[in-house]
Amino acid sequence: MLSIRNIVKEYAKHRALDDVSLEIEQGSIFGLLGPNGAGKTSLIRIINQITAPDSGEIYFNNEKLNQSHISKIGYLPEERGLYKKMEIGEQMLYLARLKGLSRADATQKIKYWFEKMEMQTWWRKKVEDLSKGMQQKVQFVATVLHEPELIILDEPFSGFDPVNAEIIKNEILELNQKGSTIIFSTHRMESVEELCNHIALIHKSHKILDGSVKAIKNTYRNNTFKIGVNKAIEQSELQTADLLTSKTTDDGIVHTLKLREGFSANNLLQEVIPLANLTYLEEVIPTIHEIFIKTVKD
């Protein structure tokens, strides 16, 4: 649905994006990851046509990105705010109409969302009368009110309490199920694994990783397993794996093992079972967070 091709963006002293290409599929939840200052916001601003790239192109539904796409995108910036002295209802109406909705249409949709988010009494309230969490709810609703095909959320959960974060997360999933494509920019990896099915990692203006969450994780599997046993095992007793770490816990001993070339988990089990009582075995799959750190360090 969104094809980003060879984007280069330079500011006076540094290159914010260097030849970045991404393919974002229809209906996906796409995680755009990277440390602060990597170039995520620059890229998002280019997609929103707030700034233009120095070179490279973006296609929206196979059409070159243009002004007509503005109404099809909803953007929740990381640093977000509202007019402090304006009534919430008026403010939402204004933002929705700027996206091209008619007054009647916008009013109807606002009412729908107010009911859904239990904000019915907020219409005449001013922003300065709302708590920060309430303001963020308003901002979220304003972002998705015009039913955009593409929703771009920059750190959507920052500042939300757990209850509201959960509400917003469910709304995001629901919107996704209804067909919206979602780009989700963050440097907090926990939320990524839960939500995203595709990620790209941007570091120092370059894309350094891109693919489905599963595929990426698979490439970072390295035949490492964790086993729980009631009695410590020595390296000398093992032919199939190298013992990496051992840890004593309340439930016994946890070993981390790396399979040697040509052996499988089954071989390891056969070797361990006569030695001790096994409580569990699991493959150590790196989290996105670990992949992120590892890739960034490399």
| Chain residues in the site for another protein (CB under 8 A) | 11-12, 45, 48-52, 54, 70, 73, 75-77, 79-86, 94-95, 97-99, 139, 142-143
Element (H, E) at 244: strand 241-249
Reference 35, options 212, 204, 192; nearest CA is: 204
> Could you tell me how many residues make up the chain?
298
* C-beta pairs of 26-29 under 8 Å, 24+ apart in sequence: 26/1, 26/181, 27/1, 27/176, 27/179, 27/181, 28/181, 28/182, 28/197, 28/198, 29/172, 29/176, 29/181, 29/182, 29/184, 29/195, 29/196, 29/197, 29/198
The amino acid sitting at 142 is A
Smallest gap from Cβ 178 to another protein, in A, equals 21
Q: Which residues contact 206 (CB under 8 A, 6 or more apart)?
A: 18, 19, 20
Nearer residue to another protein within complex by CB, 88 or 259 = 88
Smallest gap from Cβ 17 to another protein, in A, equals 14
Smallest gap from Cβ 136 to another protein, in A, equals 12
Nearer residue to another protein within complex by CB, 30 or 75 = 75
Nearer residue to another protein within complex by CB, 70 or 243 = 70
Smallest gap from Cβ 163 to another protein, in A, equals 24
Smallest gap from Cβ 125 to another protein, in A, equals 16
Nearer residue to another protein within complex by CB, 46 or 117 = 46
Smallest gap from Cβ 77 to another protein, in A, equals 4
Nearer residue to another protein within complex by CB, 36 or 266 = 36
Maximum pairwise Cα distance, the chain: 77
Nearer residue to another protein within complex by CB, 50 or 285 = 50
Number of H helices, E strands in the chain: 9, 14
121: DSSP letter: G
Work out the burial of residue 74: count CB atoms within 10 Å of its CB; fewer than 13 is exposed, 13-18 middle, 19 or more buried.
Answer: buried
Element (H, E) at 24: strand 15-24
Smallest gap from Cβ 107 to another protein, in A, equals 15
Nearer residue to another protein within complex by CB, 73 or 259 = 73
